[in-house]
A and B are shown apart, each in its own frame.
Chain A
């Protein structure tokens, strides 16, 4: 199967991967520092990209740094923290127009890669410390981000359910860390975390776009030449099986709509082909506007505006979530379980599979039309140790049979039910 990503090791534990597609007008590059989620270190590490984003040794002034980005035709610089199974990913990324479209013939690839490398390798550290004020501000930002989990009730409820479900598993460690640990961050500790990241993280640099990646690759190769590295090795993750009674938790808050989240374990699916069948099965169950949950729980029963299922192959979890009136929450839960049991008994049509596969094909093809989507697709492939392109995934999907789908839903087990409900009115 054709796998279009060119991947090259440019230093110990550092890879540069690229994909060239002339149809784009922009290029995107991202530097991903991958490290184990460590409950004690995660918070300190999470603050690093935000401090780096504020300026460099040569250009410590945030305002000046942003002027440089404006001059690069509004190139965008992003800094973020993500999570992949039991790993934390610190990302610095940049997107800018290609050389072909620059009004004055600027070498945009080199300019953008140069600036990105400067941000990563030449931070504003003096005597082993980041700037005190910047550290203080970014600590506050991190704390606000951690606390802001509560703002979006939909994602808050999902996170709460996963927290309860995977309380003692590595994958439940928060990517931004913990509020009580933020206070302990100092300009020294953040600088140490930065140094450690550069030393031990597995580094994945990705370049996607219409331009020639060579100049960018050489810039990063040179930068990494002088560094002493003892990189970690990313290993694949095995999810757990459901054990004991189904866990249930109810939380009350000042909300108008109730939220139901049901966490399921997808047991024993480790092979890529099986994961692909699982994706199709879960999409058929609750991932599309023609899925069983949409057709029955929303359209036929009018219980909710959304009721959908999503599968994360990296943790082996399937989450079902819905926003419903508190009095209908039990009814919705029963309806979801009933749909799952029907599917496990094979009570769905062959055309449901064909249609879901076609729907997935559109989504996979759309991946190849977006630089951002390609970036995350190929990073996931790299970290999962697989080499499947979106087209390869389409091919695999087209081979999924009815038997595969039934087998895929049969290994789904309910683990945890979480409900977020409005506060009970006084006097009731």
Chain B
């Protein structure tokens, strides 16, 4: 077993990185003084992975949209009861979620950590589906999809992704549709499971109050050596241009909701993740509450409840989104595009750059104060191929020149789109 203590001088903290013989990487971050611990067992497999092949296959297989999420629901069942019942005996609060590029199983607990980590490692490595149990889930997930159909905040974001991307599967709803999930059966679930739930394609992150030795013991006890990993994911060619510039859906809402998206060039998985830091800083610099743009929008009554910026990096995509509510989303969109163009030409003010660097540092420091935030961040970093502490260093060492370069490349009005949900 390869164990390495990773240390950061700036924070005065360290964590343990373990390469377990089974093939699983474990990142273990004990935190002094905390009462709870948070564990997250994740596979690099999400809603975008619908076309793939393994070593033996000659052809790419295409599976129904929403299958990664369906699989997540079904993993909780085993031959002798479900995982929630097992967790109930330890008092852990368990959950799972599927995103575009990963599926994560997690729990938080204050006691019986050893038992809970064993349950986690065990049920995620032990699939059990039958025709009946798979069919039963159609009703539950069908209602989950319906719930999101009525959720204007969810719709306005997914409509934007559908507008921005022409071919990339990031444009497809994570849960799929009632029609697509109707095609899912036990065989398909096993196929996806056997492909992606390979320990070499997974990571376990734990943060908070726990003893790393208990994790190592549980891993030794439960995990079997995984076969070598050969996954080939089919990646669709994605042009720089967006699919549609503007899209409107009508739903019962009080004030129109909007999502504005900037589609950035794909720089590869790791670089997309690093570019995220700069793009987040740029969002702050151009649209944040300290900007002239924000003041104008506010003064003109165009954004009463503020606007929120976020950057989403992934395997083969990178985009930044700005969302809010406005009586005139087109006007907001217009002004935001002009603001990015203006800063791209004029450059960034030194003082403003230093200020945003400082506030970004404070925000990233916050990640190290909460077990759940820390375990999630470690998972994201691992899948992107960077170390957790590199995040803080990236912020601390960021330069204005690189930021200006990113601004010109990642925020072009031409490759942007506007999504609106209104009554």
By a beta-carbon cutoff of 8 Å, the part of chain A in contact with chain B is 21-26, 62-63, 66-67, 69-75, 96-97, 101, 103, 133, 136-138, 140-141, 144-145, 147-154, 253-257, 288-290, 294, 298-299, 302-306, 323-325, 351, 355, 357-359, 361-366, 368-370
* 10 A-B pairs with the lowest CB-CB distances in the bound complex, closest first: A358-B91, A23-B33, A74-B359, A73-B362, A147-B254, A302-B139, A365-B110, A141-B304, A74-B362, A257-B146
Check B151 against A153 for contact (C-beta < 8 Å). yes
Measured CB to CB, the nearest residue on chain A to B355 is A70
Closest chain A CB from B165 CB (angstroms)? 25
Check A25 against B33 for contact (C-beta < 8 Å). no
Assuming the A-B contacts A97-B365, A355-B88, are A255 and B150 also in contact, with contact meaning beta carbons closer than 8 angstroms in the complex? yes
Closest chain B CB from A391 CB (angstroms)? 9
Closest chain A CB from B24 CB (angstroms)? 25
Check B358 against A290 for contact (C-beta < 8 Å). no
> Across the interface, which residues of A come within 8 angstroms of B292, CB to CB?
63
Closest chain A CB from B72 CB (angstroms)? 13
**Chain B stretch 88-133: residues in CB contact (< 8 A) with chain A:** 88-95, 108-112
**Chain B stretch 343-389: residues in CB contact (< 8 A) with chain A:** 355-356, 358-363, 365-366, 368-371
Is B136's beta carbon under 8 Å from chain A?
yes
28 A-B interface contacts by CB (under 8 A): A22-B33, A23-B31, A23-B33, A25-B365, A67-B355, A70-B290, A70-B359, A71-B358, A74-B359, A74-B362, A101-B365, A133-B299, A137-B301, A144-B254, A148-B254, A151-B253, A152-B151, A255-B252, A289-B94, A290-B84, A290-B85, A305-B140, A305-B143, A324-B143, A362-B93, A362-B109, A365-B36, A369-B34
> Across the interface, which residues of B come within 8 angstroms of A138, CB to CB?
304
**Chain B 71-86 near chain A by CB (<8 Å), digits 1 or 0:** 0000000000010110
Is B87's beta carbon under 8 Å from chain A?
yes
Measured CB to CB, the nearest residue on chain B to A140 is B304
**Chain B stretch 254-274: residues in CB contact (< 8 A) with chain A:** 254-255, 257
Is B278's beta carbon under 8 Å from chain A?
no
Check B110 against A150 for contact (C-beta < 8 Å). no
Measured CB to CB, the nearest residue on chain B to A104 is B358
Q: Which of A149, A152, A358, A369 has the most CB of B within 10 A?
A: A369
Once bound together, how far apart are the Cα atoms of A30 and B355, in whole Å? Answer: 25
Instruction: Count chain B residues whose beta carbon lies closer than 8 angstroms to a beta carbon of A.
Output: 72
Check A254 against B146 for contact (C-beta < 8 Å). no
**Chain B stretch 1-58: residues in CB contact (< 8 A) with chain A:** 31-36
> Across the interface, which residues of A come within 8 angstroms of B247, CB to CB?
none
> Across the interface, which residues of A come within 8 angstroms of B182, CB to CB?
none
> Across the interface, which residues of A come within 8 angstroms of B34, CB to CB?
23, 369
Closest chain A CB from B201 CB (angstroms)? 27
Check A257 against B294 for contact (C-beta < 8 Å). no
Measured CB to CB, the nearest residue on chain B to A21 is B33
Check B369 against A257 for contact (C-beta < 8 Å). no
Check B35 against A369 for contact (C-beta < 8 Å). yes
Closest chain B CB from A305 CB (angstroms)? 4
> Across the interface, which residues of A come within 8 angstroms of B305, CB to CB?
141, 144-145
Check B88 against A366 for contact (C-beta < 8 Å). no
Is B144's beta carbon under 8 Å from chain A?
yes
Check A290 against B362 for contact (C-beta < 8 Å). no
Once bound together, how far apart are the Cα atoms of A194 and B423, in whole Å? Answer: 35
> Across the interface, which residues of B come within 8 angstroms of A144, CB to CB?
254-255, 304-305, 325
> Across the interface, which residues of B come within 8 angstroms of A151, CB to CB?
152-153, 253-254, 257
Closest chain A CB from B299 CB (angstroms)? 7
Once bound together, how far apart are the Cα atoms of A357 and B355, in whole Å? Answer: 47
> Across the interface, which residues of B come within 8 angstroms of A302, CB to CB?
136-140
Once bound together, how far apart are the Cα atoms of A149 and B254, in whole Å? Answer: 8
Picked from A23, A150, A324, A370, the residue with its CB within 8 Å of the CB of B254 is A150
> Across the interface, which residues of B come within 8 angstroms of A67, CB to CB?
290, 355
Closest chain B CB from A366 CB (angstroms)? 5
Once bound together, how far apart are the Cα atoms of A151 and B289, in whole Å? Answer: 25
Closest chain B CB from A64 CB (angstroms)? 8
